[in-house]
Structure 1
């Protein structure tokens, strides 16, 4: 197929990652930072400004945009909205080169690092890791990327283990990991009785233990009395059930009821004995007596036997 001089020039620019109209590479950037603290939020802004200035200083480059994810883990790309949008726009041919600070900012999962840099390379987009000195369009880039990504992934695993270890130590010291609940406000890792909610909890135990009413009946009666749960507009028997079986109401604390088996996916699972629970008796001010709580447990046991 014959091409004229203009077509040949455009084809060459496209192959070299240049915009066929401006003769410049259209360059995007990707950054990710946790924004739970004020100084990290400032870091996020500074990263965005850095990439814009860095790209605009290069005469052969044309600034496209900065894709930025805030406060999201790098071990998985599933929940990174901007990251996924970046990949989509690369496939649409909207930019030719991607800058990112380092591999750990791009992905801490080795498979993701290799997969997405390959996908970008297929559409002619190179990834330049500034701190690691890797350009994925170079011949040995994938080998170097594999090594560096594996190191980043291992560091992520170690960080996860350190965090879990630190959390468990704090749990053993009595620090509460969790949010406020009906009858208790959780502030700075401590539980404080919320008397308005505590009255509802006592009412539920009284109806169940002393009046021997079912969880369905209790839910119905609470609604009829104009009493509503904390995070819903309607009482359900399952909500009543969880309250009656929650050891916190008699002053005990059981933590690590859920755990994260895979640091890459961050998916939580109910602890069925895979990990050791952290149990502290008489941890905080109870809303109901231990005797009342144990009577509720016996009623559940009796019902189970009948079934």
Structure 2
């Protein structure tokens, strides 16, 4: 007699309601590493993007968009990130939207630990780039996705570095002219002199060659109501000292004086021969003559 098997309690297959049809409280986390104009604009676009996605769905409620302008390697310094985790413990939202896993955190071990805690609280993380919902994947898959995201970040970082190095070899540079007393940029991106600011620069060099130290120069500037490049009434002696050593004021660019050895930390180091440096003379209009600049350097180094 053959064995016959009958299903008397068929499995109940639950049809899961798609996320877009569920009533959910949604948060979002947006992050950039530095407060440059380009990255701050990127942050603004990220926040507007997630705000639109969430508010346009009638079933979703936007709880909050958290944001940070800080390194993504550690929680310290990321106040928005820490606030988001505190609110998660209070179950104030059901899901978190992020642009990519790498934006959530570059320290893979810490990020994975945080995500496990979120999963334990039944809070999901929706990554737009990787198209994943962490509540639907296991730890092994998540670890692989983070490794891929980190590798892509590293590749992107190396590509950016290559582009910067290539520009340096061609004698081109990206300069922060918004806090550069004496210069601004024209429509073509070239450094041009701001006449009234250039007079302040020349006065500082002149005062130094007359025998005044940076403290006396600071006092002179403040007593005469001359403000810093950011509009402050009080000058910093270290700022004045750096100005007196800035070769750009004689129309010269020394490129790659600092560099970023590790994209994960984002920390910059002074170039002490680890990488090539490039000197570009007559790169832009000079504010002080070369002879004046060199005389200041001799005095600074006690060679007078």
TM-score normalized by structure 2? 0.73
Corresponding residue number in structure 1 for 2:290? 290
CA distance in 2, matches of 1:223, 1:216: 11
CA distance in 2, matches of 1:225, 1:49: 51
CA distance in 2, matches of 1:95, 1:161: 37
Corresponding residue number in structure 1 for 2:267? 267
Compared with structure 1, are the counterparts of its residues 278 and 178 closer, same or farther at alpha carbon in structure 2 (3 Å cutoff)?
A: farther
Question: How many residues get paired?
Answer: 273
Residue 128 of structure 1: how far off its partner (Å) = 5.0
Corresponding residue number in structure 1 for 2:11? none
Corresponding residue number in structure 2 for 1:50? 53
Corresponding residue number in structure 2 for 1:85? 83
- RMSD across aligned positions (CA): 3.5
Q: How does 1:1-307 map to 2 (within 5 A)?
A: 27-32=25-30, 36=38, 44-52=47-55, 56=59, 63=60, 65-69=62-66, 75-76=72-73, 78=75, 80-98=78-96, 103-127=101-125, 129=127, 132=130, 134-137=132-135, 141-171=138-168, 172-180=170-178, 181-187=180-186, 189-209=189-209, 211-231=210-230, 232-302=232-302
Residue 268 of structure 1: how far off its partner (Å) = 2.8
Unaligned runs of 5+ in 1: 1-23, 57-62
Residue 155 of structure 1: how far off its partner (Å) = 0.3
CA distance in 2, matches of 1:131, 1:239: 42
Secondary structure in 2 aligned to 1:302? Answer: coil
- Once structures 1 and 2 are overlaid, which stretch shifts more, 97-106 or 188-197? 97-106
Compared with structure 1, are the counterparts of its residues 156 and 205 closer, same or farther at alpha carbon in structure 2 (3 Å cutoff)?
A: same
CA distance in 2, matches of 1:133, 1:230: 45
Unaligned runs of 5+ in 2: 1-21
Residue 143 of structure 1: how far off its partner (Å) = 0.2
Kindly indicate whether the alpha-carbon contact (under 8 Å) linking 1:74 and 1:106 is maintained by their aligned counterparts in 2: no
CA distance in 2, matches of 1:152, 1:237: 43
Secondary structure in 1 aligned to 2:30? Answer: strand
CA distance in 2, matches of 1:174, 1:99: 38
TM-score normalized by structure 1? 0.73
- Once structures 1 and 2 are overlaid, which stretch shifts more, 46-55 or 111-120? 46-55
In the TM superposition, what whole-angstrom CA distance separates every residue of 1:111-139 from its partner, at most 9, and x where no partner exists? 2431211121343434455775655456x
Residue 197 of structure 1: how far off its partner (Å) = 1.7
CA distance in 2, matches of 1:296, 1:144: 60
CA distance in 2, matches of 1:218, 1:74: 36
CA distance in 2, matches of 1:295, 1:27: 65
Compared with structure 1, are the counterparts of its residues 52 and 116 closer, same or farther at alpha carbon in structure 2 (3 Å cutoff)?
A: farther
Residue 67 of structure 1: how far off its partner (Å) = 4.2
Compared with structure 1, are the counterparts of its residues 54 and 148 closer, same or farther at alpha carbon in structure 2 (3 Å cutoff)?
A: farther
